[in-house]
Structure 1
Amino acid sequence: MKSEPLSYLPSGDQGPWGIYLEQVERVTPYLGKLKYWVDTLKRPKRILIVDVPIHLDDGTVVHFEGYRVQHNTSRGPAKGGVRYHQDVTLSEVMALAAWMSIKNAAVGLPYGGGKGGIRLDPRQLSPSELERVTRRFTSEIGILIGPKKDIPAPDVGTGQREMAWMMDTYSMNVGSTTPGVVTGKPIAIGGSLGRQDATGNGVFFTAAAAAEKIGLPIEGSRVVIQGFGNVGNAAARAFYDHGAKIVAIADVTGAIYNEEGIDPYDLIRYVAESETRGVRGYPKAEPLPAAELFAVPCEFLVPAALERVITEQNAHKVQTKIVVEGANGPTTPAADDILAERGVVVVPDVLANAGGVTVSYFEWVQDFNSYFWTEEEINQNLERVLREAFEAVWQVAQDRKVLLRTAAYIVAATRILEARALRGLYP
């Protein structure tokens, strides 16, 4: 008898969840006896859909739909961010939770995968409205989260401020200050040094590890970055500080290009002062049609925005040696195949953007012990963890003659399913 199909997603194109399922199918032949448990990876452990009603500043009431998905907890509590975006869907949150399971296992963190989201445009809400949304959402998902059950973190549209509200709301509801319920908090309430730039720094560390394997120097290399939020600008600064040349950058406002290089520190100042709060109009670079960004010749391409941006429609235009996935799921399986045929190395998201969750793990450990590390210690440990994880995945890729993404899934799925097999089924 076969397992019943999931009933809460439409048939046919299942969006990001469908991409994840295809990735699981690709890795299944390499799992040996653990294939017995592979359906564990194809269905989330728990899904909570909540109504989030709030009063707007004008006194009216609006309702938002929110989600918290726990994909797998065989190796530890669920871990994953909370996304505020107008295009959030259940399929997306399910996929993001599943990718967190894979990411945490690939890096060797003692976590399962989780993810949350609310379908709203945070730019359309005032700070007080966002606070009410965050606190109500936290209360609604409070039955799932906890420092030993499910630990949220920032994601697209959220940051330290929202994590402070989440931590405070949870603490008020349980009657004691509980800093470990979320990570990515401000330093003053139990956050970790190095957390804000952790994902971008991790992008650079894994890019450097991949570059060493193919004999590509960082210094003098050209870099193209899609996305200039926390991940994109931290990655840009790390590449720039090591002598690379940032030739093109894009964000939601537009794309810019300068073959002589863009100073990311100067661009950050411009973005903070500009009316658009984005890169559009930067006077030291030329405007570039967004559709042409991936066609700019470079050594490193860093998609650091949303998923499904490199597809079979544009993969043949990519002019780079290494794609480093700062975003979650930016490359579709069909695009993976095209890039592989063209000799492009793809450092998959489950390695490339694992810096954030790795330092979140450090933050969680520090909160439990009430003992905090220096930023130098954080960054040294981060580089060590990611380089060790990359080396293990690279070796599997060489031994099995598979893509790095498949190798990362082999490593991660093996760890998850070994834990599932050892724990067995209860009752």
Structure 2
Amino acid sequence: MSNVPKVSAYEIASRNFERAADLIDLTPEWRTLVRTPFREMKVEVPLYRDDGSFTTFSGYRIQHNGARGPFKGGIRFSSLVDEQEVKALAETMTYKTALVDIPFGGGKGGVNVNPPDLTDRELEHVTRRYISRIHLILGPNRDVPAPDMGTNAQTMAWIVDQYGRQHGYNPAVVTGKPLELGGSPGREQATGRGVMLITLAAAKDHLGKAPADLRIAVQGFGNVGMNAALLLAERGATVVAISDHTGGYHRAEGIDLEGAVAHVRREGGDRTLRGYDGADAVSADDFMGVDCDVLVPAAIEAAIHSDNVDSVQARLVVEGANLPVTPRADAALNDRGVIVVPDILANAGGVIVSYFEWSQNFQQYRWSEADVNDRLERILLKAYRDVAEKQEALGSTMREAAFALAIGRVVTAEKLRGAL
């Protein structure tokens, strides 16, 4: 591999914004106003470990823009978390909620901690102490977090309880909760379901292929990638490759997904694909180059970059993760005629169903899973059509059209509020 400098999440977010802002002739004043976060909070999260040692972790909550509604965005626990990453992801959430036209702004939070290194007690303590430091800027009509990398429904349950200790019980303070605490049916699969819906729509329009004719590679076998793979297979597609941070696996005839899921969910072990024997092993360096029609990067930022973009064989890339393609790689794919569906459209299913969960909490009424999935499909496919129309009008890439549309909606909201 060449020694190409790592591209940060913030660099990717900045380039995505500037390309679209240029297309719509956004003035310097509006560029500054839209990109500057409303509020940034950094806190220290102390922890006495079970072995008696003491440590602290840095935590962040960045509220990027609330012109269109309460700040909305996940909380991630990862050793990769830093201020710049959280800022980039918060800004991306602003455009994601605007693109799918739900009444939220954008925010993001995180703690610089590696969850596998902590016991359950330690993880709960970190969660509660983090929330105790940021609770004053949270609230159902102010800022509504959700799960992200390294967090899950149990984490949200701890947040509901900790927030309730200081403000009174209100399930609408977070989304992605367990069903028993006001969660929504369909929320766990929502992001993966959205990836599936967008993949099939884009494959039909741009590749002229039906689901049964698609060969798909999914990089990242966590919540998003796993559910996207399962749902795509359910619709008739063949998933030929899967991977996680421990390694990749390829089988031209199709991966036994049920077997892969069972392997990941086995008792004991590290709950990864490590040691999976149902397909041929593929190195991380080679995974993006597997033979497929559709590549779904559903893991981390900057997964497709200058070092591996030339190996990509897929004709369609669907961004299941946030910011998974660097600007140079994006340009290279576009030059080769590869269609890239941007993250703010492709993985918006999660925030859409988070909106449904938030709405159900206010109504104190639970919708059926079929109703949730039907509403999700309608909203997401409308956004897909909106982007297609904008793309045709601008003569741009799909990413540029999506960001131009989203930024325009944020600017309109700011103007109506009298921001300048």
**TM-score w.r.t. length of structure 2:** 0.96
The whole-number CA distance in structure 2 between the counterparts of 1:178 and 1:108 is: 25
Given that 1:50 and 1:65 are in contact with CA atoms closer than 8 Å, whether structure 2 keeps it comes out as yes
Residue 71 of structure 1 aligns with an amino acid whose one-letter code is H
- 1:21 deviates by 1.4
Deviations 1:255-307 (A, max 9, x none): 11111111212211111126242112222211111111110111110000000
Counting only pairs closer than 5 Å after superposition, residues 62-211 of structure 1 correspond to structure 2 as: 62-174=55-167, 176-211=168-203
Given that 1:27 and 1:410 are in contact with CA atoms closer than 8 Å, whether structure 2 keeps it comes out as yes
Residue 171 of structure 2 aligns with an amino acid whose one-letter code is P
- 1:218 deviates by 1.4
Matched residue SS, 1:277: coil
Counting only pairs closer than 5 Å after superposition, residues 307-346 of structure 1 correspond to structure 2 as: 307-346=301-340
The whole-number CA distance in structure 1 between the counterparts of 2:258 and 2:350 is: 21
Partner residue of 1:300 out of 275, 294, 319:
294
Task: Select between 76-85 and 256-265 the one with higher mean Cα deviation.
Answer: 256-265
Q: Residue 360 of structure 2 aligns with which residue?
A: 366
Q: Residue 280 of structure 2 aligns with which residue?
A: 286
Q: Residue 5 of structure 1 aligns with which residue?
A: none
The whole-number CA distance in structure 2 between the counterparts of 1:335 and 1:173 is: 47
Deviations 1:176-195 (A, max 9, x none): 21100000000000000000
Does residue 271 (structure 1) correspond to residue 264 (structure 2)? The answer is yes
Q: Residue 384 of structure 1 aligns with which residue?
A: 378
Q: Residue 217 of structure 1 aligns with which residue?
A: 210
Given that 2:175 and 2:357 are in contact with CA atoms closer than 8 Å, whether structure 1 keeps it comes out as yes
Residue 73 of structure 2 aligns with an amino acid whose one-letter code is G
Deviations 1:173-213 (A, max 9, x none): 11x21100000000000000000000000001111111121
- 1:35 deviates by 6.0
Task: Select between 36-45 and 335-344 the one with higher mean Cα deviation.
Answer: 36-45
Q: Residue 9 of structure 1 aligns with which residue?
A: none
Partner residue of 2:252 out of 239, 249, 259:
259
Residue 270 of structure 1 aligns with an amino acid whose one-letter code is H
- 1:117 deviates by 0.4
- Regions of 4+ moved over 4 Å: 32-36
**TM-score w.r.t. length of structure 1:** 0.94
The whole-number CA distance in structure 2 between the counterparts of 1:316 and 1:13 is: 17
Matched residue SS, 2:310: helix
Matched residue SS, 1:80: strand
Task: Select between 118-127 and 211-220 the one with higher mean Cα deviation.
Answer: 211-220
Residue 193 of structure 1 aligns with an amino acid whose one-letter code is P
The whole-number CA distance in structure 1 between the counterparts of 2:219 and 2:203 is: 20
- 1:399 deviates by 1.6
- 1:42 deviates by 2.2
Given that 1:281 and 1:287 are in contact with CA atoms closer than 8 Å, whether structure 2 keeps it comes out as no
- 1:146 deviates by 0.5
Does residue 226 (structure 1) correspond to residue 202 (structure 2)? The answer is no
The whole-number CA distance in structure 2 between the counterparts of 1:302 and 1:423 is: 38
Q: Residue 399 of structure 2 aligns with which residue?
A: 405
- 1:119 deviates by 0.4
The whole-number CA distance in structure 2 between the counterparts of 1:36 and 1:275 is: 53
Given that 2:73 and 2:107 are in contact with CA atoms closer than 8 Å, whether structure 1 keeps it comes out as yes
For the aligned residues, what is the CA RMSD?
A: 1.5
In structure 2, the CA distance between the partners of 1:396 and 1:152, relative to structure 1 (3 Å rule), is same
Residue 364 of structure 2 aligns with an amino acid whose one-letter code is S
Q: Residue 29 of structure 1 aligns with which residue?
A: 22
Given that 2:240 and 2:251 are in contact with CA atoms closer than 8 Å, whether structure 1 keeps it comes out as yes
- 1:398 deviates by 1.4
Q: Residue 7 of structure 1 aligns with which residue?
A: none
Partner residue of 1:60 out of 31, 53, 60:
53
- 1:34 deviates by 6.3
- 1:237 deviates by 0.4
Task: Select between 51-60 and 241-250 the one with higher mean Cα deviation.
Answer: 51-60
Given that 1:85 and 1:119 are in contact with CA atoms closer than 8 Å, whether structure 2 keeps it comes out as yes
Partner residue of 2:417 out of 403, 413, 423:
423
Size of the aligned set, in residue pairs, is 414
Given that 2:65 and 2:71 are in contact with CA atoms closer than 8 Å, whether structure 1 keeps it comes out as yes
The whole-number CA distance in structure 2 between the counterparts of 1:204 and 1:409 is: 21
Deviations 1:95-122 (A, max 9, x none): 0000000100001011110000000110
- 1:13 deviates by 8.8
